[in-house]
Each structure stands twice: as C-alpha cells, then as structure tokens.
Chain A
Amino acid sequence: MSFSKKLCGMAGAAALSLFTALPAWAQDAAAAAPVPNKGDTAWMMVSTILVLAMILPGLALFYGGLVRTKNMLSVMTQIGAVACLAMLVWVTYGYSLAFGPDASEGLKPFVASLGKMFLAGITPDSTAATFTDGVVIPEYVFVSFQMTFAAITVALVLGSVVERIKFSAVMIFALVWLTIVYFPIAHMVWAAGGLFFEMGALDFAGGTVVHINAGVSALVACIILGKRMGFPKEPMAPHSLTLTAVGTGLLWVGWFGFNAGSALEANGSAALAMINTFVATASAALAWMVAERVAGHKASALGFCSGVIAGLVAVTPAAGNSGPFGAIVLGAVASVICFFAVTVLKPKLGYDDSLDAFGIHGIGGMIGAIGTGIVYSPSLGGPGGADYAIGSQLVTQILATVTTIVWASIGTTIAIFIAKAVTGLRVSPEVEQEGLDLGEHGERAYNY
C-alpha cells in the first residue's frame, strides 16, 4: 500500500516535471519568433483610425464644401461608398495582390500572388515585419492600416470628376482602378521585391502610391469625362468654405496617423515624421497666402486650406526622410508651385479638374517625391548616411515618379472606359442642372 503510494507519488512527480518543462520549450520557440510590442500595436491601431478620420468625415467635408449646394450629398456619398468598397476589396484580394506571397519571377516587381486571398492563413497570432529587425506588429493591424490607404486614395481621385459623374460609374471605376492601378503600385513601392522598393526609391508614407497616383488618375479621368456644364463661364463658387475648413483640420490631424503611422512603430522615426507633418504644413499654409498676395489677391481662407493640403501632400514621402528645416522648405516650395498649377496652369490648359485633385495632389506629390531625394541628404539635416549621393537618388526618385505617372494614366483610361461602357459615365444634362443630390440620391443636403 505504502509502496504503491510512493510509486504513484514518483510517477506523479515525474509527470509534473514533464509538464513544467513544456512551457519552457514553448518559450524557446517564442524567442525565435518575435512578439508584437504592445506600444507599437496600440500606436498603429490609433494611426489606422486616424487615417479613417481623414476620409470620413475629413475628405468628405473638404471636398463637399467645395462643390455647389446641389451636389454636397453626392460628394459625401461617393467618398463614403468608394471607401467602403475599397475596404471590402482590400480584404478579398487587394491585400494579397499588394503584400501577398511572391508571384512568379516576371510578375514579382509589379504585383504579388493571390496566396493571401480572403486573408488566407492570417490569424490573430500572425505578424507583419516593420523597418526594425525583430520588431513586428500584428498582421491584422498592418492589413487594416494599409486598407485605409487604399480607401483614401481612390476617394481622392473623385475630386476631379464631382458634380457630373454617375454614382454607378464611380463604383465601377473604383473597383477596376483599385485592381489595376492601386494594388500594383502599392506593391511596387512598399512590398519587398516590388519595382520601386528594389530601386531604392524613398517614399515614406506614399507620395507616389497615394498622391501622384491619385492626382494623375484624377487628371486623366476628368479629361475623358469632360467639363461640367457651364465651366468655366458660370460661377461655381464653393458652397461652404466653413465645412471645407473643418475638413482641412480633420485631414491635418488624421495625417499624423498617415505619416507618423507609416513608421509602423512608435519610435524616433515616427517622431521625425510627426514634427515634419507639423512644420511642412505650417510653412505651406503661409506660403500659399503669401503667393496670393504676390499675385495681387487677398490672403484667403481657401488659400489657407489649399496650402495646408499641399504641404501635407509634399511632406508625405519626406515625412521620415527629412529634417524639420528641409521639410519647411519642401512645404513652401510645393505650396507655391501648386498655387501656380491651380491658378495659372489649369485655366491655361482648360481642363475641369473641379476640386484640383491633380493641381494639389498630383503636382504636390511630384514635388514631394523628387524633393525627398534632396532633403534626405544629411548636409540638409536629413537622416541619410554620410555617403548619401543626391544625384543618383534623384534619378531613382524621378524614375519612380515617371513610372507611376505612366501606369496611373494607362490604368485610369482603362478603368474609365469600362465604367463608361457599363454605366454611361455621365449624368444627363437635366440631372446635372438640377444637382446630383436630387438626381442621383433623391435627397437635398439642406432643407431650410
């Protein structure tokens, strides 16, 4: 009895030591696979939601205030709807095309494979790499963060086609455009093996992917779609610069998630992006108003808002790639050139980029992308290494910019013509006259 009891006890002790050993093995295994840091994870979750606030309500109000009263709701609805569409397409196949497993050798620089379609294989334990070895964030957070970028980029394009494009055409265009333009360019810039990534192009938060891409696509789309009835003879003054100013503020606040969040960690690089997102924007806002005065006009509220956006756009690729004073100069230069683009170039060329998506995002994005190659230099206070060569980097920046312009132009042309074939693209003259709010959505923005 006592023997058997002792034996049992021994067996129990052996079993116990076996079990206590198990967690030790698990710890060894975990040391090999890094665990997300809670601070990084929390920051990236906040950043992701900040980018959502840039779209709804930020961009919706910014763009909405700029159109006429009769089209306010159509703009807000188009922006909200394409953002939602982008989210669903992103988790279905967009994330995989941009960041999925490598495609075959020839395709690899342009697009990833469909191996992560429907987010296959991603669990709460999956992680995504950051820019620091051994530092990771949960992959669901990375998927969500990148999802908001796809959503805002397609919404930005709409700025050139508002007040006349059909709602159905917007949805078809967005679906095709995301698939053939956005996902490949996001892959080229941000995924290991992507064309620009391998070229060593500097693009901190998406100057090429988001702004050049959206701006150029907007230009091509508005040229194919045609001008608004009465443009440019009839007055088409913004119906509420108050709402535009509110939207501008929300965009600026949200942009900290966009830029500082693009560090993918809560670290010094994010801090650099943060301060640059303050000061480049501040200098650009004032520079636009100075440009107005020099051109003989009054410093205006819309000029202030436009300068803020031009500065934010220009600092996007430079956010973590510039010193604060490089960013200040970059913001001011981009702002003045954008002012020239929307007040002189656009009237001269005669296209109806209604809300200046090209004039500010396209032009500002190009200045930012190319300027990043300059302000990155340590001699100008940038974070580049001592052996940084401005000349060769500039060539890379320009190559990435030109490739994006060509890709976006061709892709947008295809997407717009598909939308035209399916929906007819443009509302009838009666609907355009009466306003898209009533004609396309059966509502009025304001019932006094």
Chain B
Amino acid sequence: MKLVMAIIKPFKLDEVREALSSLGIAGMTVSEVKGFGRQKGQTEIYRGAEYSTNMVPKIKIEVVCDDDLAPRVVEATQSAANSGAIGDGKIFVLDVGQAVRIRTGETGETAL
C-alpha cells in the first residue's frame, strides 16, 4: 500500500477530488495547511506598517491506495492540480505498513 500525500493550491481541491473519484478512490483526508516554497508570500500594509507573510495557505490531501493504483493517483493529481504557475505544490509517495478499518477490524487492502 502507498500513501499519496499532495500539497496543492486550495482552489484546485474540487478538481483533484473528482479526478481521484473517477479512479475509484473511495476516501481521502484533507487539511488546511500553511507553508512556503518557491512561491513568495503576500505583503500586508496597515496604516503604513508592513507585514510580509512568508506562509502561503495550501491544502494537503492524503490518500492511501494499493500499490498498483498509486502511479495513476499521482498522475491524476498532478494533472488536475496543475495550473502552470509557481506554487502549484508537491506530491509525495510513502510506503504504508498496515491499514485497519476501525469498525470491523479488517486489515490490509480490504480496509481501504
């Protein structure tokens, strides 16, 4: 099993969710996060006092899927979240040791 973790632009969330649903992904976890990379933050000015915000708001999506599906999940996410501009985000793929469905106690890929 793989964990596909994608940091994307917030307004791309719906497109990514639709693309993953069409691959048969049945669930995902979404968080609002902040961070910085190559994209510069904003400058705010209040009565002349300038504050530069380094942290840019992003959305983090976490999806666990079986090994075969993982490359297609990455590909679908990459194309759906792509706007061609700096700050589109990153995708990380990690190995997952175990998965358990809490309600039934099922384990492994059947728990996904």
What is A's interface to B at a CB cutoff of 8 Å?
232, 235-238, 297-298, 300, 302-303, 306, 342-344, 346-347, 356
Contacts and interface: CB of A to CB of B under 8 A. Distances in A.
Interchain residue pairs A-B with the least CB separation, the first 9: A343-B48, A235-B51, A342-B47, A297-B45, A302-B46, A237-B46, A237-B51, A238-B46, A302-B47
Contacts, number: 25
B44 A237 contact: yes
Contacts of A298: 45
Interface residue tally of chain B, by bracket?
Answer: under 10
Interface in B42-58: 44-49, 51, 53
A242 to B, nearest CB: 14
B48 A347 contact: yes
A298 B45 CA distance: 9
A297 B48 CA distance: 9
A238 B53 CA distance: 14
Interface in B21-60: 44-49, 51, 53
Contact of B48 (A236, A237, A238, A344): A344
Contacts of B45: 297-298, 300
B49 A236 contact: yes
Nearest to A298: B45
B49 A306 contact: no
- Most A CB contacts (10 A, CB to CB) among B45, B48, B49, B51 go to B48
Contacts of A297: 45
Contacts of A232: 49
Interface string B45-81: 1111101010000000000000000000000000000
- Most B CB contacts (10 A, CB to CB) among A235, A303, A306, A356 go to A235
Contacts of B51: 235, 237
A97 B53 CA distance: 52
The main secondary structure of chain B at its interface with chain A is strand
Contacts of B53: 235
Nearest to B44: A237
13 contacts: A235-B51, A236-B49, A237-B46, A237-B51, A238-B46, A297-B45, A298-B45, A300-B45, A300-B46, A302-B47, A303-B47, A343-B47, A344-B48
A344 B53 CA distance: 22
A356 B44 contact: no
B30 to A, nearest CB: 18
Given A237-B51, A343-B47, 4 more contacts: A232-B49, A237-B44, A302-B47, A347-B48
Contacts of A342: 47-48
Contacts of A343: 47-48
B47 A356 contact: yes
A427 B45 CA distance: 28
Interface string B80-108: 00000000000000000000000000000
Contacts of A300: 45-46
Nearest to A340: B48
A292 to B, nearest CB: 8
Contacts of B49: 232, 236, 347
Contacts of A344: 48
B47 to A, nearest CB: 5
Contacts of A346: 48
A148 B45 CA distance: 34
Nearest to B53: A235
B57 to A, nearest CB: 15
A235 B44 CA distance: 10
Nearest to A235: B51
A272 to B, nearest CB: 32
B81 to A, nearest CB: 28
Contacts of B46: 237-238, 300, 302
A101 B46 CA distance: 48
A224 B60 CA distance: 48
A366 to B, nearest CB: 19
B45 to A, nearest CB: 5
A154 B108 CA distance: 69
A302 B48 CA distance: 10
A235 B46 CA distance: 10
Nearest to B52: A235
A302 B47 CA distance: 7
